[in-house]
């Protein structure tokens, strides 16, 4: 399950439990909508409560990032899990945005909210 908040050019996505393909599709819609009206999007992924994700999510993420990687400006990922941090690093290969992993939510939000 995910929750999505949007403000200005920032999309905040919190994943709780399992991250499913339907959740990822909802994220995609929000990003494309925001990018259409606001230009490049900053994204804050809060993965602290994510337990797992389905294989089709990983594949969809790669496809989406390859096709829409220019839509992103900054991506912050909040997690303490090394595999999730590695996943964020892999995503960075497909987009031109700055991607950083944080263990502190407030630091991540401050960084991703700054347009430099």
Q: What fold is seen in the domain 2-113?
A: Rossmann fold (3.40.50)
Question: pLDDT for 17-69, tens place per residue?
Answer: 999 999 999 999 999 999 998 899 999 999 899 888 888 888 888 889 888 88
Closest CA to 49 of 28, 26, 18, 88: 18
Token look-up 């999007």 returns 41
Question: pLDDT for 68-82, tens place per residue?
Answer: 888 889 989 898 876
Taken as a whole, the chain contains a residue count of 116
For residue 100, the model assigns a pLDDT of 87
Look up the pTM and report it: 0.86
């Amino acid at each position: 399950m995910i929750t999505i908040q949007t403000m200005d050019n920032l999309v905040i996505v919190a994943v709780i439990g399992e991250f499913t393909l339907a959740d990822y599709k909802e994220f995609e819609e929000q990003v494309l909508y925001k990018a259409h009206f606001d230009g490049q999007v900053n994204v804050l992924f809060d993965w602290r409560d994510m337990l797992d994700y389905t294989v089709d999510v990983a594949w969809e993420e790669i496809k989406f990032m390859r096709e829409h990687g220019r839509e992103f400006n900054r991506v912050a990922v909040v997690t303490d899990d090394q595999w999730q941090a590695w996943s964020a690093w892999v995503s960075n290969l497909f987009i031109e945005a700055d991607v950083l992993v944080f263990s502190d939510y407030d630091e991540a939000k401050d960084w991703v909210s700054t347009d430099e």
